[in-house]
Structure 1
Amino acid sequence: MIRFWRKSNPIRRTLEAYADSRPLPEAAPENLTRVLRVENEDASIIEDARRRLAVIGFTMVIAFGGLGFRAIELAFTGSEAVATIPAQAEARRGDLVDRNGQVLATTLETWSLFADPQLVWDARETAEALVTVLPDLDVDELTADLSSRRRFVWVQRNLTPRQRQAVFALGMPGLEFRTEPRRVYPRGRLAAHAIGHASRDMDGLAGAEQAFNSALTNDGGRPVPLSIDMGVQFHVDEVLRRYMAEFQAQSATGIVLDVETGEILSLVSLPDFDPNRAGEAASGERLNRALQARYEMGSTFKAFTVALALEQGIAEPGETFDATNPLHVGGYTIEDFHAENRALTLAEIFTHSSNIGSSLIAMEAGADAQRDLLQRLRLLERAPVELDESASPLLPRHWGPTETATISYGHGIAVSPLAVASAFAAIANDGVYVRPTLRPVRPGETVAGEQVISPEVAQGVLDLMREVVENGTGGRADAPGFRVAGKTGTAEIPTRGGYDEDRLISSFSAVFPYDDPQYVVLVILEEPQGNASTYGYATGGWTAAPAAGEIISRIASILGVEQEDDPLARSALVRAALTPDPEPVVRPDE
């Protein structure tokens, strides 16, 4: 084809003449046909070349795109795909607030440090430099991580702004930052067990964080309110810390319940932990004793035995039970802590806390009736609260006469403190059991309950509980102006082969005000030690009862309970303040 386009070619001259509109030779039509055919062949070749170039270009785009994608993948995963950068949470985790809107748990954005070992120049040098600004790191472990073939390793997460700036100032290659959410608990230890804590990946691990994880995660970041009143929580916590230290107790538990709604207004378990540093807490500090611990509650259970007697019609007015001598049942001997050595009425059995009298009542009622009552009060099952920590009770394998007798005064069965508090709330609530809850009840909201004992039986037990505070073992729980009703409890801790009489669980279960029951307060001290102020006694009446009384005096105004204007009570307080301590008159205790 090239030979047609030499300068001397006649066809070229003919086309040039045609382009200049010059007259063509007579042979032009034949030559022109030939030229057009040549042009068509040339255009076809060019079009084929363009198509080939387009295919080649498209292929190269796909190839380089694949290579680019693979390069990005390798940058994050490494050749062995050992680690990947965790995906950030799509939605912000909602706050936890108390019933008054105080923030208990919230989420903040923080910086986390990671490394690409393939870009780290010297693993040892980098690790040693990082430890100078992040002293919690381990040089050897970090050196091993930075020497690996991976492309991503965490160094330390949730840095403070100052820590991030210090790392940045090092200028070490291969180190990068990313923002991550961090769960923060502004109140620290206060209500730690009720609030719980969440993992670094924003998953609830305990307490309300776990129980309401779905609402916190999927409710558009809206706050989730709890029934806890932080004002009440503060006073219960402060009183229990002081009494725990004063009596050198191993632990302390405090619960405040609304008897009509079942709302948990305060839940204290000591020792506790800081949920901001939950990973550093010992297992004993993370244990929520209000729900997870199971205690033999001692004479506290005599309130349920009195309810059994009234329900079964066992103790008619004037009827007595012979507590003159110790009781022998199934090879065991049952004695009273401070024996009256005489026949006792039902009221005397309760106020003097007689183990012998309680056993006689329970055995007359029978194991089936006793078990049925305790079941209705939800004492033979886990407390039905939202928290997963709620533990099932420890029940006897065989419920015979011996077990019936010992359970009547709180031995041979171990239950959680919340289960006990909820049972007392039923007594205070005219015999209606309401499930305990950590969610607040809205004003005007109807709360479903179950009538588990008759109002008459409930009132009878409540009357005797008031008598315990006025004239029995619970006198130190009396809060002037609030008419407290309650029951002391002291139980020896079971050990292999029996009970250790030197290790006690001391408790007090209170209801106030007696005339219009609204709240239950339960206090438990584990292994308290008597001191000079208690004349060496460590029983519930000497240790837990005064703690409960002080708590009631402090929180009543917060809860809107008005103090009665009692001139006699005021004068008694004045006399007590001005008069030296008299010689002790030891009241019968458990």
Structure 2
Amino acid sequence: MNTLVVRPTRVRTAGVRQQILLTAQQRLMILMLLFMAAFFVVSVRLVYFALFDTASGRAPASAFVPARADIVDRNGVPLARTIDGYSIRVVPSKLLNNRQYLADELHKIFPDMSREELLGKVSGSRPTYIRRRALPDQVAAVNAIGDVGFDFPREKERLYPQSTLAAHVLGFTNAEGHGVTGVEGAFDQRLIDKATRGQPLALSIDARVQGVLESELSAAVTNLEAIGGAGIILDVYTGEVAAMTSLPTYNPNKLTGSDPATRRNAVTYNLYELGSTFKPLSIGAAIDNGVVTSMAKRYDATKPLAIAGFRIRDSHMMNRWLNVPETLIHSSNIVTAQIGDQLGREKMEELFRNLEFDGRPHIELKERAFPLWPKNWGRVTTMTASYGHGIAVTPLHLASAYAALVNGGIWRPATLMKLGDKAPPQGRRVFKASTSARMRQLLRLIVSDGTGKQADAAGFRVGGKTGSAEKPGVGGYRRHSLVSTFAAAFPMDNPRYVVLVMIDEPKGNAYSSGQRTAGWTAAPVVRKVVTRAGPMLGVFPDESRDVDVSELTPLLWRNGETE
């Protein structure tokens, strides 16, 4: 007989169950604390490596820092950056195919290179580059040839995503990645320094405004069949350059095959006799020095001015006596020369030195030309320099001078750096504040009633001066080769920006009604640029405001008599 023994069911009391739950909770808490401790240790180690570990081969801190700093415009738009790109290299000792065949195939891919040049590369004894900064389709095409003698090393490549935009401002780098010209050359150390290359270099340039200036000036140069042009927009109070362009231009992404002459920055490196745009500067100095005390005083412009065997003429003889407002409105060389003669050599030379016309233009770029300063400051030189002949400067010299003329009289150096919250340079006084106020009236009058009418952008109160100067050549000036310039500022009741446009050798054609002078060629460009770029710069049209010229308009000759 079998005996069945049954174990009674364990009865767990409430106290036992609570103890089990408590133990489980304690174990979970311990596991959680261990996990948190491990996570904390790992985090601390990662932070340590990122901040302090500079051992060879372990540099997480620099892994996200570019080899060369980005360059951006004042709003953060990228203008230059470094990326990883492909190059195409050939190692002749590893080539398997016939060299003639390879040269033929490569020439199909690179038609800009001669077959003989390519044959020399594949037949050489040393590894050599076929193309640096190669395009993806070029890499794929060479790879498709199927020869192990080609390799495709990844290299740091400087990319200019806006193509030709602000090319002369930005400049370019060489094969070793160092800056050659422009901002790239001027700030090379800042752009590659480990301590600073992680931060983009912010320029004063506004890419939108730059695009407007380039498109309008380019259209004018093309339509006028000119050989080139230059333009700049300058903040009159800070010296910041909002836009700067030089034509013809180039693409810094594609230097191979481009004309080196196109890389010259006409704004800072080319010298020009800028003609009648000097007249407001000379008359401003004459007002400052008490030579001109009344706007109503008249000067003889009935005939050419004879001096030392020369005759100073006006392009359009008025054949009457002119006062100062009329002198500027009609751009009289004869009267300006008389005023310059009364001002005298010492004061005229002092003016030009105060405006820095005796040295390279002040800006960060290396490409800056030294002006052509008169060798002998005789009486004739003083008179001709008063209206912009016999002295050659860069367009940037003139733009900075006009900023001082309209901003209350303070000259400041130009800069390509965004100042942001930084105070602008203190500058120094060149014109009296009262003289600056008078010149704002006169410059506005030139646009409303004179040679600059075609620069008048509705509501923007543009003021400025035309300048059409014959280019010097062998044996004298070339009558049919003009440099046409319009130097302007807006809005003239409270100037914010100088706009200077220069067109080199415009043709008188249907586009300009057969005229080559600045009033017909450069002035319309200023109007279009101001109309488009003004709102981008924070200046909006307001036709209810203008400069008060009520005391000057009665002095103007209308219908044979003054008002």
**Given the two structures, how large is their TM-score scaled by the length of structure 2?**
0.81
Alignment of 1:103-122 (within 5 A): 103-121=78-96, 122=98
Question: Contact between 1:308 and 1:362, CA under 8 Å: does it hold in 2?
Answer: no
* Paired position in structure 2 for 1:319: 297
Question: Contact between 2:281 and 2:405, CA under 8 Å: does it hold in 1?
Answer: no
Say whether residues 1:453 and 2:453 are aligned partners: no
Aligned partner of 1:153 among 107, 112, 128? 128
Question: Contact between 1:428 and 1:518, CA under 8 Å: does it hold in 2?
Answer: no
Say whether residues 1:514 and 2:489 are aligned partners: no
* Paired position in structure 1 for 2:167: 192
Cα–Cα, structure 1 residues 129 and 472, in superposed 2: closer, same or farther, change >3 Å? closer
Q: Secondary structure at 1:356's aligned position in 2? A: helix
Aligned partner of 2:70 among 85, 95, 98? 95
Question: Contact between 1:99 and 1:227, CA under 8 Å: does it hold in 2?
Answer: yes
Say whether residues 1:176 and 2:154 are aligned partners: no
1:205 alignment partner AA? V
Q: Secondary structure at 1:257's aligned position in 2? A: strand
Q: Secondary structure at 1:220's aligned position in 2? A: coil
1:354 alignment partner AA? S
Aligned partner of 2:279 among 281, 291, 302? 302
Alignment of 1:29-108 (within 5 A): 92-108=67-83
2:228 alignment partner AA? S
Question: Contact between 1:483 and 1:515, CA under 8 Å: does it hold in 2?
Answer: yes
Alignment of 1:500-539 (within 5 A): 500-532=478-510, 534-539=512-517
Aligned equivalents of 1:393, 1:190: Cα separation in 2: 27
Cα–Cα, structure 1 residues 242 and 113, in superposed 2: closer, same or farther, change >3 Å? closer
Q: Offset of 1:466 from its aligned partner? A: 1.1
Could you tell me which runs of 5 or more consecutive residues in structure 1 were left unpaired when the two chains were aligned: 1-89, 569-584
Aligned partner of 1:144 among 102, 120, 139? 120
Identity of aligned residues (%): 39
Question: Contact between 2:224 and 2:511, CA under 8 Å: does it hold in 1?
Answer: no
Aligned equivalents of 2:260, 2:171: Cα separation in 1: 14
Cα–Cα, structure 1 residues 99 and 117, in superposed 2: closer, same or farther, change >3 Å? same
Say whether residues 1:370 and 2:348 are aligned partners: yes
Q: Offset of 1:347 from its aligned partner? A: 2.1
Aligned partner of 2:178 among 187, 203, 209? 203
Q: Secondary structure at 2:244's aligned position in 1? A: strand
Aligned partner of 1:341 among 319, 340, 346? 319
Cα–Cα, structure 1 residues 285 and 220, in superposed 2: closer, same or farther, change >3 Å? closer
Say whether residues 1:265 and 2:238 are aligned partners: no
Aligned partner of 1:424 among 383, 402, 417? 402
Question: Contact between 1:183 and 1:200, CA under 8 Å: does it hold in 2?
Answer: no
* Paired position in structure 2 for 1:32: none
Question: Contact between 1:393 and 1:414, CA under 8 Å: does it hold in 2?
Answer: yes
Q: Report the structure number with the largest CA radius of gyration.
A: 1
Cα–Cα, structure 1 residues 346 and 117, in superposed 2: closer, same or farther, change >3 Å? same
Aligned partner of 2:209 among 232, 235, 243? 232
Aligned equivalents of 1:531, 1:166: Cα separation in 2: 48
* Paired position in structure 1 for 2:187: 212
Cα–Cα, structure 1 residues 321 and 207, in superposed 2: closer, same or farther, change >3 Å? same
Aligned partner of 2:270 among 293, 300, 305? 293
Post-superposition Cα deviations, 1:138-188, rounded to whole Å, max 9, x if no partner, equal 4333333444443x2223222233322332332323332311111111111
1:140 alignment partner AA? E
1:142 alignment partner AA? L
1:450 alignment partner AA? R
Could you tell me which runs of 5 or more consecutive residues in structure 2 were left unpaired when the two chains were aligned: 1-64, 547-557
Of stretches 324-333 and 225-234 in structure 1, the one that deviates more from structure 2 is: 324-333
Question: Contact between 1:254 and 1:524, CA under 8 Å: does it hold in 2?
Answer: yes
Question: Contact between 2:455 and 2:527, CA under 8 Å: does it hold in 1?
Answer: yes
Question: Contact between 1:235 and 1:554, CA under 8 Å: does it hold in 2?
Answer: yes
Question: Contact between 1:379 and 1:423, CA under 8 Å: does it hold in 2?
Answer: no
Question: Contact between 1:252 and 1:270, CA under 8 Å: does it hold in 2?
Answer: yes
1:206 alignment partner AA? T
Of stretches 346-355 and 440-449 in structure 1, the one that deviates more from structure 2 is: 440-449
1:290 alignment partner AA? V
Q: Secondary structure at 2:76's aligned position in 1? A: coil
1:564 alignment partner AA? D
Q: Offset of 1:534 from its aligned partner? A: 4.3
Q: Secondary structure at 2:87's aligned position in 1? A: strand
Aligned equivalents of 1:477, 1:144: Cα separation in 2: 57
* Paired position in structure 1 for 2:218: 241
Q: Offset of 1:555 from its aligned partner? A: 0.9
* Paired position in structure 2 for 1:434: 412
Cα RMSD, aligned residues only:
2.3
Aligned equivalents of 1:372, 1:210: Cα separation in 2: 33
Question: Contact between 1:489 and 1:507, CA under 8 Å: does it hold in 2?
Answer: yes
2:207 alignment partner AA? M
